[in-house]
Amino acid sequence: MVVRPHRFQHPENSIMEKRRLGRSELMVSQICLGTMTFGEQNSEQEAHAQMDLAAERGVNFLDMAELYPIPPKPETQGRTELYVGSWIKARGNRADTIIASKVVGRTDNDWFRGGRSSRLVRADIVDAIDKSLARLQTDYIDLYQIHWPDREIPFGSNPMRVTALSEPVADETPIAETLAVFAELVKAGKIRHFGLSNESSWGTMRYVLEAERGVGPRPIALQNSYSLVNRTYEVNLAETCQREGIGLLAYSPLAQGYLSGKYDNGALPEGSRKALFDRLQRYEKPGAAEAFAAYNAMAREFGLTPARFAHAFVNARPFIAANIIGATTMAQLEEALSSIDVGWTAEMQEAVDGLHQRIGNPCF
């Protein structure tokens, strides 16, 4: 194996870049700390330690959801926001921290709304925001996102193949009706900005259209999956969001750990998410294993760990507002944060694009 030279910035000169989120005034760190392990794989003390280290390295942006931690369970739902809230209260840093959270989309899981299913209607959104504010011990959330649509569409909303198109269900909530609720939340001071997640080009543009009609706030962010093995965002959403001033918050940059190399050659580390929960099917589709092996080998050829390489790729993309990292150990967090020290080169991009041309997006 030929190890190619790579370029690092000097750590002492490393600066966590701040980027404007959409057309808003929010300046968010290029690395956003994802928190979905808080309350399941990470204790409150461990969560606080992660947030302390991230803040020390210049991260000012935390992402969570009423759904978290993962896997979703009625007995743990909301713990993540509780842990973030207790950290903010203890550190007294609310003004310096940009908080993003989410309301669930259409779901028949009944523990969010006290024994009934949830839709993106006024009663359910108001219930969600009030509970999140209480858990977070704050009066407002900087970015409040719809976790997934009310429409019955494939999760992630940007599939590579469509085998059938279903008619809208009878109780589908119109986008205009949902957006009007967010207008109320902004007016009440409960949220500053509105965002989307797991949304398609059509859905994103419908929200923009309704906002331009004066129905509610314009989305400033879209949180969708984006990684070496899922670049579907680039097909239509990249142009949509660039022209409409919507920043991409990229989640799952490590493909739920597969791009860290820890599952290479069939390995199953004790305590890993796959070993604990076996919920990684999105990253176990035909062709995925070959893609992971190829990208992880490429990272090592450039003299980098697979995780640092995968994060650096996301960090360097021109349409990324923030890369949402996640970790269960401090060592994993250190590695993710250090990805800003990687000088992403034209040679790296050419190698990645060449491989992508051959294998496509196996993990859409």
Which residue's entry shows tokens 């569409």?
A: 153
Q: Is 133 helix (H, G, I), strand (E, B) or coil?
A: helix
Q: How confident is the model at residue 327 (pLDDT cuts 50, 70, 90)?
A: very high
pLDDT digit string, tens, across residues 237-262: 999 999 999 999 999 999 999 999 99
Q: What is the sign, positive or negative, of the torsion defined by CA atoms of 50, 280, 132, 157?
A: positive
Domains along the chain? Answer: 7-156+169-359 (3.20.20.100)
Rounded Cα–Cα distance for residues 272 and 263 (Å): 9
Predicted pLDDT of residue 152: 85
Mean of the per-residue pLDDT values for the chain?
94
360: left (phi over 0), alpha (psi -120 to 50) or beta: left
What sections of the chain are H helices per DSSP? 44-56, 79-91, 122-136, 175-187, 201-212, 237-244, 273-277, 288-301, 306-316, 330-337, 346-359
Above pLDDT 70, what percent of the chain? Answer: 96
Whether 81 has a pLDDT exceeding 90, the answer reads yes
Predicted pLDDT of residue 66: 98
* Mean pLDDT of the 45-65 span: 98
**Which are the contacts of 109, defined by CB distance < 8 A and separation ≥ 6?**
72, 74, 117, 118
Per the document, the length of the chain is 364
* Mean pLDDT of the 39-59 span: 98
Rounded Cα–Cα distance for residues 194 and 221 (Å): 7
Q: Which of 286, 264, 268 is nearest to 276 (CA)?
A: 268
Higher pLDDT among residues 96 and 270, named by residue: 96
pLDDT digit string, tens, across residues 175-212: 999 999 999 999 999 999 999 999 999 999 999 999 99
* Mean pLDDT of the 81-91 span: 98
* Mean pLDDT of the 216-237 span: 97
Whether 13 has a pLDDT exceeding 90, the answer reads no
Whether 230 has a pLDDT exceeding 90, the answer reads yes
* Mean pLDDT of the 340-357 span: 97
Tokens of 218: 């314009």
Please indicate whether residue 140 is annotated as part of the active site. no
What are the CA-CA distances from residue 28 to residues 24, 251, 317 (Å)?
Answer: 10, 15, 16
Instruction: Give the amino acid at 59.
Output: V
What are the CA-CA distances from residue 339 to residues 133, 311, 333, 348 (Å)?
Answer: 32, 6, 10, 14
* Mean pLDDT of the 298-307 span: 98
Please state whether beta strands 219-225 and 191-197 pair in parallel, antiparallel, or not at all (unpaired): parallel
Tokens of 166: 């279903």
Rounded Cα–Cα distance for residues 41 and 333 (Å): 14
Q: How confident is the model at residue 5 (pLDDT cuts 50, 70, 90)?
A: low
Whether 127 has a pLDDT exceeding 50, the answer reads yes
Rounded Cα–Cα distance for residues 175 and 206 (Å): 7
Q: Which of 326, 328, 330, 296 is nearest to 313 (CA)?
A: 296
Instruction: Give the amino acid at 131.
Output: K
Question: Which of 68, 144, 251, 263 is flagged as catalytic?
Answer: 68
Higher pLDDT among residues 80 and 3, named by residue: 80
Rounded Cα–Cα distance for residues 211 and 150 (Å): 18
In this predicted structure, which of 208-217, 270-279, 323-332 has the lowest mean pLDDT? 270-279
Predicted pLDDT of residue 10: 43
